Amino acid sequence: MPRALAAQFAGGKPVPCPVGGYDLRSLGKGQLATATREWDDPYFLAADVHSLVSRRNDPVRLFNARSLWGHYSVAADGHRALLQLVGFTSRPNDSVSIGLPRPWRSVAMYQTESEAPAILGAVTVEGRREIHLPAFTHYAAVEFRS
């Protein structure tokens, strides 16, 4: 939270903070991070928040995603999810992998270059489940079902 709001939250005892520029204190069952400096760049703020929350809470992780934008959404019942990927170059994205924190019964990839979806399977890499995507250029939608 910005420095101006920090005074409104008492917070508990100080906790070691892994990210410079923030004070971390216990609060209820969690922790409260307060900025010790003014925020001046939204990119660095987003990177700081990601570091403070940690990657273990990411719903998916992209590897080798170079210039891809991804949007992940989950159905209200939690049994279906969709990851949409948009490429911003004309080069094919030919080595993209998705790291999954939870197992899915089926994974299918839809892309503009083909009529039928590609049915994908997970592999284990360094102790984590990953899906290796087929090459695509501009758009791919990856559907997960439990």
Q: What is the pLDDT of residue 17?
A: 85
Residues above pLDDT 70, as percent of the chain: 92
- 103 is in which domain, residue-wise? 61-145
97 and 76 in one domain?
yes
82 and 47 in one domain?
no
Q: What is the largest CA-CA distance in the chain?
A: 58
Q: What are the residue ranges of helices labelled H in the chain?
A: 3-6, 42-53
Sole residue written with tokens 């929350």: 53
> 24 with 15: CB under 8 angstroms?
yes
pTM above 0.75, yes or no: no
Count of domains for the chain: 2
Least confident of 5-19, 23-37, 40-54, 125-139: 5-19
Amino acid sitting at position 106: S
Contacts for 43 with CB less than 8 Å, ≥ 6 apart: none
77 and 30 in one domain?
no
**Where residue 75 falls among pLDDT bands split at 50, 70, 90?**
very high
70 and 25 in one domain?
no
